[in-house]
């Protein structure tokens, strides 16, 4: 295990003073998986009082007392922060994630302390001084076999969030959920135990699933299998079995397609992270932006259950869920599904978060996700592209549309290129509107400078100027002013001097 020198010094000091610092949790798991360690959590054994540990740690850096009542201290040294904690027991005494009674005990043994954890792979510890791996529940063997297994059924069920943790761990690390763990999770969902969870905690697990999984669909399929989507996310569950035209979607129903789209978007984001960090010398794309695109990919076809119709060869049309399977059909359509998807997208997202601006930023990507392909087929003119930029970030839209196009099994998708998106992005770049709309050439103060008196006509005039600007009729401020003067001369507008 690669351990920072600053942390090694602290652990050596603790050892010299008859205390044992054991690295626990994700750092041990990630080391065995060959992954980069992001955070170090250390449990300290052999000390009777938390105050003594605080005093010892203060020799090395700033000690944050937040979490002290739970036996947790944060130490910042040489720019890095480490969590130090006492072994502890947790007992469920009331509903909710705060309904736990915590008792800390520095004399507790490792196995007893580790029993409170959720999965065997998270219940391992490593002592750098003795180079000993503590693994009381077989986490290392489970990792080798690719198994995610819970430790104790009673303790596991005390915090229903662990069901969502099982979902995202399985997807992030490519682990198969043990039979007994899957059965317990399914039972907890059916009994309504997840109902008590606040949306903020659920949202954090969703973010980990989408942002950290190479294939988020693995976790989403578990949600479907365990009854989570049916009980808690009906907008997502509604995609199951909704048919699609096999010409455009030979992969299957809307659920299957959506799973492929989300995985494709995750792959696009992961590739850009690597390019950004290794080739361009900069950090990865902002987490919030990636999350927005992933949610847009997930929600892009939420309107299809509401709009999908089946056309029979005799000309009759029915909703998809009223289909007569004994009669041959000719066409499957979902006309207007882009706009119809806005309401269920809002409903789904507000079930996870109250971040209004973030949720609103997802909606245009859902509403316009077909535009890149449509504009490419029509070879849309500059004015149409400039107007699209008023409604949505074209660069982001192309990414969502690309994931939609590649997230299927057509021959074109298998090639791995999205010509429509490349064309639209190139055209938008020429027009300088790929990430923002065209700024107006004139504002109200410019009309006042021309001697016009503020009135209701101001808005009309500026709107006409902007429309002409988007259509390419005017390209600079002088032309815009001349446009206004000609309008004044033709129609007459009230002014404050003789120029009107």
pLDDT in tens, 12-30: 999 999 999 999 989 999 9
Q: Which of 88-102, 286-300, 472-486 is least confident?
A: 88-102
- What pLDDT does residue 163 have? 98
- Please list, residue by residue across 111-144, b when 16 or more beta carbons sit within 10 angstroms of its beta carbon and e when fewer do: eebbebbbbbbbbbbbbbeeeebbbbbbbbebbe
- What pLDDT does residue 491 have? 72
CA-angle at 476, arms to 474 and 481, nearest 5°: 75
Q: Does the pLDDT of residue 51 top 90, yes or no?
A: no
- What pLDDT does residue 323 have? 64
- DSSP lists the bridge partners of residue 127 as 132
pTM: 0.89
From the DSSP assignment, how many helices (H) and strands (E) are in the chain? Answer: 26, 14
Residue whose token pair is 């578990």:
222
- What pLDDT does residue 328 have? 58
Under 8 Å between Cβ of 480 and 488: no
- DSSP lists the bridge partners of residue 92 as 100
- Please list, residue by residue across 57-91, b when 16 or more beta carbons sit within 10 angstroms of its beta carbon and e when fewer do: beebbebeeeebebbbbbbebeeeebbbbbbbbee
- Which of the four pLDDT bands, split at 50, 70 and 90, describes residue 279? very low
Rounded Cα distance, 334 and 243, in Å: 10
Q: Does the pLDDT of residue 283 top 50, yes or no?
A: no
- What pLDDT does residue 331 have? 86
Under 8 Å between Cβ of 262 and 248: no
Under 8 Å between Cβ of 434 and 425: yes
- Which of the four pLDDT bands, split at 50, 70 and 90, describes residue 269? confident
- Which of the four pLDDT bands, split at 50, 70 and 90, describes residue 498? very low
pLDDT, mean over the chain? 89
Which phi and psi (to 5°) does residue 79 adopt? 85, -5
Q: What is residue 476's three-state secondary structure?
A: coil
Domain residues of the chain, as ranges? 5-142, 284-430, 444-491
Rounded Cα distance, 319 and 332, in Å: 10
Rounded Cα distance, 442 and 438, in Å: 12
CA atoms within 13 A on the CB side of 83: 18
For 5-142, which CATH class? alpha beta
- What pLDDT does residue 325 have? 58
């Amino acid at each position: 295990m690669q351990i920072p020198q600053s942390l090694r010094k602290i652990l050596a000091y603790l050892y010299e003073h008859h205390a044992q610092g054991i690295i626990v949790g994700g750092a041990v798991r990630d080391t065995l998986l060959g992954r980069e360690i992001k955070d170090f959590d250390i449990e300290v054994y052999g000390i009777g009082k938390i105050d003594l540990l605080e005093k010892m740690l203060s020799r090395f850096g700033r000690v944050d007392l937040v979490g002290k009542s739970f036996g947790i201290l944060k130490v910042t040294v040489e720019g890095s922060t480490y969590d130090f904690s006492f072994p502890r027991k947790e007992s469920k005494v009331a509903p909710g994630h705060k309904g736990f009674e915590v008792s800390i005990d520095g004399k507790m043994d490792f196995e007893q302390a580790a029993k409170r954890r959720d999965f065997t792979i998270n219940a391992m510890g490593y002592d750098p001084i003795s180079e000993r791996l503590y693994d009381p529940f077989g986490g290392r063997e489970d990792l080798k076999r690719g198994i995610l297994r819970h430790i104790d059924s009673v303790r596991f069920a005390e915090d229903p969030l662990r069901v969502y943790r099982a979902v995202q761990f399985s997807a992030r690390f490519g682990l198969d959920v043990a039979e007994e763990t899957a059965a317990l999770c399914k039972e907890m969902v059916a009994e309504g135990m997840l109902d008590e969870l606040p949306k903020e905690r659920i949202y954090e697990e969703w973010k980990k699933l989408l942002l950290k999984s190479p294939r988020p669909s693995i976790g989403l399929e578990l949600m479907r299998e365990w009854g989570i989507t049916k009980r808690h996310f009906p907008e997502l569950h509604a995609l199951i079995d909704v048919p699609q035209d096999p010409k455009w979607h030979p992969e299957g129903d809307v659920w299957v397609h959506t799973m492929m789209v989300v995985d494709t978007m995750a792959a696009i984001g992961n590739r850009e992270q690597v390019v950004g960090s290794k080739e361009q010398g900069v950090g990865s794309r902002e987490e919030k932006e990636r999350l927005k695109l992933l949610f847009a990919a997930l929600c892009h076809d939420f309107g299809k259950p509401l709009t999908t119709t089946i056309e029979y060869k005799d000309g009759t049309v029915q909703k998809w869920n009223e289909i007569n399977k004994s009669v041959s059909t000719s066409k499957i359509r979902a006309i207007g599904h882009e706009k119809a998807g806005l309401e269920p997208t809002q409903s789904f997202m507000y079930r996870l978060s109250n971040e209004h601006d973030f949720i609103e930023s997802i909606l245009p990507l859902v509403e316009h996700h077909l535009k890149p392909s449509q504009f490419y087929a029509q070879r849309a003119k500059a004015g149409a592209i400039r107007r699209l930029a008023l409604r949505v970030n074209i660069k982001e839209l192309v990414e969502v549309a690309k994931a939609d196009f590649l997230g299927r099994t057509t021959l074109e998708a298998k090639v791995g290129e999205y010509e429509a998106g490349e064309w639209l992005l190139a055209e938008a770049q020429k027009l300088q509107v790929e990430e923002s709309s065209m700024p107006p050439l004139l504002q109200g103060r410019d009309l006042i400078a021309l001697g016009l008196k503020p009135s209701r006509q101001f808005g009309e005039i500026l709107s006409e100027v902007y429309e002409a600007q988007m259509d390419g009729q005017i390209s600079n401020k002088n032309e815009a002013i001349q446009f206004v003067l000609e309008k004044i001369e033709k129609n007459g507008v009230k002014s404050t001097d003789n120029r009107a």
